[in-house]
Amino acid sequence: MQALYFKPSYERLRERIHAAAPELDVVLYDEAGRLWHHGVEVLPKDIKPDWCWIHTELFFSPLLHEYFRLMLHLPSLKWLHTVNTGLDKLPYLELVEKGVTVTNNHAQAIAIAEFVFGQLLADWQNVYDYRAKQQQKVWKHRGFREVHGTHWLVVGFGEIGKEVARRAKAFGATVTAVRRKQDTEGLADFVAPQERLLEELPRADVVVIACAANASTRDLVNKHFLDAMKEKSVLINIARGDLVVEAHLHAALDRGKPDYAILDVFNHEPPVEDSWVWAHPRVSLTPHTSNGGTGMRARSEANFLDNLALMVKGQALRNLVRHSDIV
């Protein structure tokens, strides 16, 4: 088998890659976009890779789109493993429709779940206000809102949704999972299909958007959704910006329902300079950074190496991407 890997990622993990796949023939894609095979520069027509891998280093490289163009013109390609969880912004659909097996990565789930709680607790426990008062040398007590006893609605119950639910349950919250399947591995108290979403929203103190962006979820958070939310509720979006109709959210926040929005993703990133989100008092804005935990890269690499070992053994791969996950 032949694989096409980004040179910096491969060289760091060379021993672990060949421990999982001892006979793997590797073509390297370097930082200048050149191809190398056994130390000799080659052209795309000279290679026939069966497998490709997008690591974090390649994902944040200016060469990412060129790598995709190369993959789309490789008739030999059978499997791509990617660091991405969301699959809507890059041509994964084209690869799936060409018959390529795509597996993705859920290493971000722990970091994103911790981000959700970090942001929420900072707001509910008045962290920013106390920090400002510290600078002013003001000693003034305020009560804070507890997570214990609240009701969480987690929209999308993949690995990210499950990690959010795991932490909410640990705090003593009740969790409703919005998903197609009934099984929640004991992490949710209730399960509801997306069709019942508007019925569930009035009960929820915290609504976490953690679902994939596809035809059934785009513009999910619209006027009808927001009108159904509970007074003093919080909306948290760590999924995709196009799941939220931002103009509708602006109007809803101005009305005070939801009370607050924690937004890590946007329709346009970064938001334009005169966007309302920058200065709105009911918005906490972060630059698509919820997946930036210190353990993410190690988990991502382990995820890839586990699948590589399964591929070599001819066993079922983990985190298979379905056509319906993208469209």
Predicted confidence (pLDDT) at residue 147 exceeds the cutoff of 90: yes
Has residue 172 got a pLDDT over 90? Answer: yes
Which tens digit of pLDDT belongs to each residue from 96-122?
999 999 999 889 999 999 999 999 999
* 199: phi then psi, degrees, rounded to nearest 5: -75, -30
Cβ contacts of 188 within 8 Å, gap of 6 or more: 154, 157, 165, 175, 176, 177
Q: Which residue has tokens 């979006």?
A: 237
User: How many CB atoms are closer than 10 A to CB 321?
Assistant: 22
Rounded to the nearest 10 degrees, what angle do helices 296-313 and 7-20 cross at?
A: 50
For residue 174, list its beta bridge partners. Answer: 151
Alpha-carbon Rg for the chain in angstroms: 22
Domain ranges of the chain: 2-107+295-325, 109-285
Annotate 68-119 with DSSP letters as a single string.
HHHHHT-TT--EEEES-S--SSSTHHHHHHTT-EEE---TTHHHHHHHHHHH
∠ Cα 245 251 255 (to 5°): 140
Phi/psi at 136 (5° precision): -90, 0
Helices 109-124 and 127-135 pack at an angle, to 10 degrees, of: 60
212 and 323 Cβ atoms separated by less than 8 Å: no
CATH architecture of the domain with residue range 109-285: 3-Layer(aba) Sandwich (3.40)
Q: Is the pLDDT of residue 327 over 80?
A: no
Asked if 2-107+295-325 and 109-285 have one fold, the answer is yes
Go through 71-92 and write b for each residue having 16 or more CB atoms within 10 A of its CB, e for each that does not.
Answer: beebeebebbbbbbbbbbebbb
CATH T-level fold of 2-107+295-325:
Rossmann fold (3.40.50)
pLDDT bracket for residue 303 (50, 70, 90): very high
pLDDT at 99: 96
Tens digits of per-residue pLDDT, 257-299? 999 999 999 999 999 999 999 999 999 999 999 999 999 999 9
Q: CA-based diameter of the chain, in Å?
A: 71
